[in-house]
Amino acid sequence: MMSYIVKRLGSTLLTLLLLSIGIFMLIRLIPGDPVVAMLGEDATPERVADLRAQYGLDQALIPQFLNWLGNVVTGDLGQSVPTSRPVADLILTRFPVTLVLALFATLLTIVVAVPMGVAAATRRGKLADKTVLLTSLVGISIPSFFLGIMLLLLFAVQLQWFPTFGFRSFSEDFFGSLKGFVLPAVSLGALYLAIVARMTRASMLEVLSQDYIVTAEASGLSRLRIRYRHALKNALIPVVTVVGLNFGALLGGSVITEQVFNLPGLGTLLLASIDRRDYPVIQAIVLLISVIYVVINLLVDLLYGFLDPRVRYAKN
């Protein structure tokens, strides 16, 4: 197990290095100059040159990358070009909103999708199975931004069950803040709910066809005990992988949802930074989401290997 962990850690570090290179280089392809965008078209060449030198934008790409990577390793994410505020402070004020939204969507996925998948698998070919398959197909097909707008129109505007826009901090109004996350979480998690429901159904069908399940049924054990104590435990192994990877995807996919519901998270900060050509903030947000995604992938992979010893032996 230890050799398996060491190999996965090594591949994760290499992945993070390649990600940092790709993020740094791709962001430089964004049209426009951040200094000119901040100072305006009427800025003097001397002022532009001074500011470019202040932020190190006058250097070649390789020295810029090495300086940025060295600072990131020490925890210094730099300063925002337009506001001169530390990037770390900007992220710390916005990240909790995105994190809570992703956690809500993940919780919704687990609580709703897993029972849906189990119900569909245990009633294969019946109405419950067809309903789950149709519902998951709709969830996969509808774009999150369209679903978010429809949810706002129905539950916020027409029925007035939930707030329309805006955000309340948990310290001001805890339950009101939780209520404000319901519709965004449904909008963001609908796609992944459909994926997990289908994955749970497929995994349950495979487990229910195993010999030990047939033997348990022949021995007279109750169906509920067979399904939820024996079958579901083994069927959840691939589902855990999907849920873990989906959480990383939810963090990155919250950009449009935050924009639709006017939530002050990393997504809205990222869009504003792209518009202002704020390289340090863009790099930090994309790198943070990428690192979280890779780390979650590592943890899920290790958990998968722990739950199923055949995986770690196959990869050694």
pLDDT per residue over 202-218, tens digit each? 888 888 887 777 777 77
Average pLDDT over residues 32-58: 72
Q: How confident is the model at residue 38 (pLDDT cuts 50, 70, 90)?
A: low
Q: Per mean pLDDT, which range of 111-120, 174-183, 204-213, 219-228 is the poorest?
A: 219-228
The answer, yes or no, to whether residue 221 has pLDDT greater than 80, is: no
- Percent of the chain whose pLDDT exceeds 70: 87
Q: How confident is the model at residue 166 (pLDDT cuts 50, 70, 90)?
A: low
pLDDT digits (tens, 9 = 90+) for 95-145: 888 888 889 898 988 889 888 988 888 888 888 889 988 988 888 888 888
Helix (H) or strand (E) holding 200, with range, is helix 182-208
Q: For position 73, what pLDDT does the model report?
A: 85
- The region that residue 75 occupies, defined by phi over 0 for left and psi between -120 and 50 for alpha, beta otherwise, is left
pLDDT digits (tens, 9 = 90+) for 84-94: 788 889 999 88
CB-side neighbour CA atoms (13 Å) of 126: 7
Average pLDDT over residues 74-91: 84
Q: If we measure between CA atoms, which residue out of 267, 292, 294 comes closest to residue 282?
A: 267
Q: Per mean pLDDT, which range of 3-7, 37-41, 56-60, 244-248 is the poorest?
A: 37-41
- Report the C-alpha gap between 36 and 44 in whole angstroms: 10
Q: For position 219, what pLDDT does the model report?
A: 77
Residue type present at position 101: L
Q: For position 167, what pLDDT does the model report?
A: 66
Q: 183 CB contacts (<8 Å, ≥6 apart)?
A: 148, 151, 152, 155, 156, 162, 261
Q: For position 308, what pLDDT does the model report?
A: 60
- Report the C-alpha gap between 131 and 116 in whole angstroms: 9
Residue 86 sits at φ, ψ, to 5 deg, of -60, 135
The answer, yes or no, to whether residue 311 has pLDDT greater than 60, is: no
| Contact status, residue 277 vs residue 198, Cβ threshold 8 Å | no
- Report the C-alpha gap between 124 and 118 in whole angstroms: 10
Q: For position 34, what pLDDT does the model report?
A: 67
The answer, yes or no, to whether residue 33 has pLDDT greater than 80, is: no
Q: For position 180, what pLDDT does the model report?
A: 80
Mean pLDDT, the chain, integer = 80
